[in-house]
Amino acid sequence: MEVIICPDAERVGRVAAAKAAKLAAAVGPKVVLGVATGSSPVQTFAELARLSRDGELDLSQASAFALDEYVGIAPGHPESYHEIIRKTVTEPMGLDPARVHVPDGFADDLAAACRDYEAAIVAAGGVDIQFLGVGTNGHIGFNEPTSSLTSRTRIKTLAERTRQDNARFFDSIDQVPRHCLTQGLGTIMDARSVILVATGATKAHAIAQVVEGPITAMFPGSVLQLHQHATIVVDEAAAAELQLADYFRQTYANLPDWQRVEL
């Protein structure tokens, strides 16, 4: 696990995007992205969009798979992840909408929709670069505490803490759905590379547990300690509870040039 501590949230987005752009260039224009919603990756996606517009990154044939979707919210709803991915990923990066996939939380048969989603990821050759945020309770995707570390795409009941955290996007918490479809932890771990971004003091405890805590279903993101190519990019506030923060800074400062992106 590589941990990069940036001075501020803006540079988290730039560094994460630069890291992703290097990985994407190595794969080629048919790169398969795993994309997350929430506030954490927005700056990263905006920077990737800029790189694409400026001709520094070729996403002309890229595919994307969203991590999750609420159950019972129609795709056109402003808080549906279909709509959020359209606004933050598909259109800004110039992706072909036919190559951008989101779980169908409005399906009549949700179990079949989950199986179909897993099959679509496999058919695309698997995810090359998976972007992640992390919840205050340590969830990645909507894999809430006690999620199986080998789980696949499935329906989940949202923790009340998650619903409270997401209520800011709705008029009231009563409008926040109680169920979602989410890629499982096993699905996420199949990605060839993972980039998790987190900013702000509210994420500090979760980041400490994900990076330095025990691998446990109580903090689902901790499973990333087992991933061969996981990069954690955080600002100083989100890094505040890391015991080895100085070591992570020293390690990054002494990387060979070919491994580094500028902070």
For residues 156 and 180, the answer to whether their CB atoms sit within 8 Å is yes
3-state secondary structure (DSSP) of residue 53 = helix
DSSP type of residue 95: -
* Residue corresponding to tokens 């491994």: 259
For residues 167 and 203, the answer to whether their CB atoms sit within 8 Å is no
Give the catalytic positions in this structure.
68, 137, 139, 144
β-sheet bridge partners, residue 230: 194
Closest by CA to 111, choosing from 155, 144, 69, is 155
Please report, for residues 91, 148, 186, 229, 261, the alpha-carbon distance to residue 79 in angstroms, rounded to integers and kept in the order given: 17, 27, 26, 31, 34
